[in-house]
Each structure stands twice: as structure tokens, then as C-alpha cells.
Structure 1
């Protein structure tokens, strides 16, 4: 379905979910390839020039914050963003999200394992998606704690589950885990606080 939202200065409707997801997947693939590449001077310079050109094309289509597609497309894998490891929600309810995730080469920490900092990043994204679902008041992360149980290996399909544990007024407590088969790789807990009207 094509969105009717048109960023400033654009004379046509914005990319539909499938097209935009293709752009995000291509971006993610580029980042994985960049992380694993050992380019020579000429290829690095050529690629940098081409990337600056594409950045200029995108800058001409910039929209206000509320118009942007990045990290705001609920119907797209990874919520339409390439910042975190790739993930896809396969089960969703008011208090829980379940799905699969995969850490690509861009997130290498060493010896075939994911960088430790990428794991809390993914949890924060998943918790935020659960808490800040459509029609809900926005909330921000106040606390996030991760316990690392086993190595998260790159280029493997992993499972995740996050759930709201309880709510106390404006405070929402959430828990989650990432699994590689039967092995728990990481567990997390967090506190999100609902924003007051007008609060940034």
C-alpha cells in the first residue's frame, strides 16, 4: 500500500512498504559489505564520491521529523531502519513481541561474535517498539540492564521475546531474551517512563 504522506518538496507519494524495505535491506547489505571489505584507494574514493551523490539526492527529499519513514514503518522488517541488527516480528500483542533477528557482519565484535554494544541496542529497539505502539503515549528508556549469557554469533537466525512485566502509573517495566535455539544468549530488563504532554 502506498502511503499518502508526502514530505515537503516532493511531488509524488512516498515509497510503499515493499519498496522501502528493499532500500533498507540494500543499506544493511552495504554496511555488512563495508565492514568486511579491504578496499584500495581508488575504489574507496570512487565509492565515497558515489555515496555523497546519493546523500545529496536524499537530502533533496528531506521531510520534517513527523514525516520521516526511517524507523517508522510498522509494516516493514526492522521497523524500516538499518541502525539495529535485522529483525522481523512474527507475533505481536499488547504486552508481548516475538520474532527473529540476525546480526550481520556490520555488528562484528571479534572472533565471529556480535559486538556487545549491539545487543542492548537491539533490546532497546524492541522494548521501545512494544511500549510505543500505535496509539500509545510515547515513553523513553529510563533504565536498561543486559545480562550476557552466551556468545551471540553472526549470521545466525536467533529468536527473541520481549514482554511488558508490569505498569505502575507512568512507569512500564519490560523484560526480554534472545535465544540461539535452546540456548539463552542474553536477557534484559528495562524501565520506560511515559512522557508528559509536550515533553521532548
Structure 2
């Protein structure tokens, strides 16, 4: 069982191990090539959205991409068994969907993560696409309720204030915390800043604990 902070005190949430209809995930410990493989795939994502290549080069790249897909297809695993998303020590936990950020703090007081938005996340004029910020905030909120000892929850609402343009390739910091708990409801908030502390965006959300069997 995990512990959570409530009004400055630490308490045990008796429902922490209840996962609704979710399977119970465990951390993955892949071999040394998985991390570099994921980074290479991220680089390919960056290039795929930024190149201006002749068609013969694209034909060769397509053939290599299709060959890679054929190589990996026999090893497709179901949710909870695939390596991606379960490697805590990798950026984005080894998931290409998640932003390639690293967790620096993970406890009942809150979660802090640091990273950059890459070329793949470009929205326009050297700024991150506004649509990737909800992904970043939603991910930090999921980790925040987990770190606070709350059972698995779903996002009921998520509100974002875009305070300034969010740049690419600049080190940024996001910090989330649980503000208050009301039964199955956890009200959470987070701030995205640059390393100098300039506020770029902030968010608040409601995370609702799943009932038994809920997805």
C-alpha cells in the first residue's frame, strides 16, 4: 500500500491497490539496446516531419521502414507486456507516444519532470504545437495521483492556460501536485516553466478513481 499526504499529514489509502478494470502493470527491464532504439526512432520522427528529400531517397527510406516494420511485427505484445511505457529510467518511460522527459521527483508532495519539445512537436514559428501540452499535463497528472498514493484514476476534465509561447529545444520543467481530495475525486494542478522559472502554461484537472471493473 502507498501513502499520501493530506493536509500536511501522511495517510494510507486503503484503495491504492485497486485498479478498476486496469491490469496491474510492472516495470520492464529490457536489454541495453532498447533505449538507443527508442532514441533512434525519436530521431526518425523528427526527420520525418522536417525533411525535404527527393523521391528516390524517399523510396529507399520507405523500403527500409517497411523492412523494419516486418522485422518487428512478430514481436508485437499486448498491453501491459510490451516494453514501451514501462521503462522508468528512460525518457517518456520508453514510449514514443509520451514526451521524452525524465522524472526528477516522484513522491506524495508532487512530481517534477524535465525535458524539451523536439522538432516532431513543432506547431509553427519555432513553437511547440498547442495540442502536445495537454498530453504533457495529462501524463504528469496521472503520475501525480499515483505518487500521492491514489488508486488508478481517469481524467474527468483538464483545463490549460497558455501563458507564453512554448519553445522547441529549450530545457523546460513541469511540476504537478494534488491540491485536494474529495472521495473518489482528486483535484490536481501543474505548472510548466523554463529553467529560469518563467511560466509558460499552467493547468488544473479532476482525476476520478475508477470503480471496480471500470475502464
Q: Distance in 2 between matches of 1:134 and 1:153?
A: 30
Cα separation, partners in 2 of 1:36 and 1:189, compared to 1, 3 Å: same
**Residue equivalent to 2:207:** 192
Q: Could you say what secondary structure the match of 1:82 adopts?
A: coil
The offset of 1:14, in angstroms, is 6.8
Q: Which runs of 4+ in 1 moved over 3 A?
A: 132-136
- Asked if residue 80 in structure 1 is aligned to residue 87 in structure 2, the reply is no
Write out per-residue CA displacement over residues 28-63 of structure 1, whole angstroms, 9 at most, x where no aligned residue. Answer: 111112221112111112111211221122221111
Which of 175, 181, 190 is the aligned partner of 2:189?
175
- Higher RCO structure, 1 or 2 (CA under 8 Å, sep 6+): 2
TM-score by length of 2: 0.80
Which of 103, 127, 131 is the aligned partner of 1:117?
131
Write out per-residue CA displacement over residues 69-109 of structure 1, whole angstroms, 9 at most, x where no aligned residue. Answer: 22222232212112233211111112411121200000111
Q: Could you say what secondary structure the match of 1:36 adopts?
A: coil
**Residue equivalent to 2:75:** 61
CA contact (8 A) 1:85 1:104 kept: no
* Superposition map of 1:156-167 within 5 A: 156-167=170-181
CA contact (8 A) 1:87 1:99 kept: yes
Cα separation, partners in 2 of 1:26 and 1:146, compared to 1, 3 Å: same
Write out per-residue CA displacement over residues 2-41 of structure 1, whole angstroms, 9 at most, x where no aligned residue. Answer: xxxxxxxxxxx9723x532222211111111222111211
The offset of 1:128, in angstroms, is 1.4
Which of 2, 16, 30 is the aligned partner of 1:15?
30
Give the helix-richer structure, 1 or 2.
1
CA contact (8 A) 1:108 1:114 kept: yes
Write out per-residue CA displacement over residues 120-179 of structure 1, whole angstroms, 9 at most, x where no aligned residue. Answer: 111111111222459853211110000000111100001111111111111111100110
**Residue equivalent to 1:42:** 56
Q: Which runs of 5+ in 1 are unaligned?
A: 1-12
Q: Distance in 1 between matches of 2:205 and 2:39?
A: 29
Q: Could you say what secondary structure the match of 2:75 adopts?
A: coil
**Residue equivalent to 1:70:** 84
TM-score by length of 1: 0.86
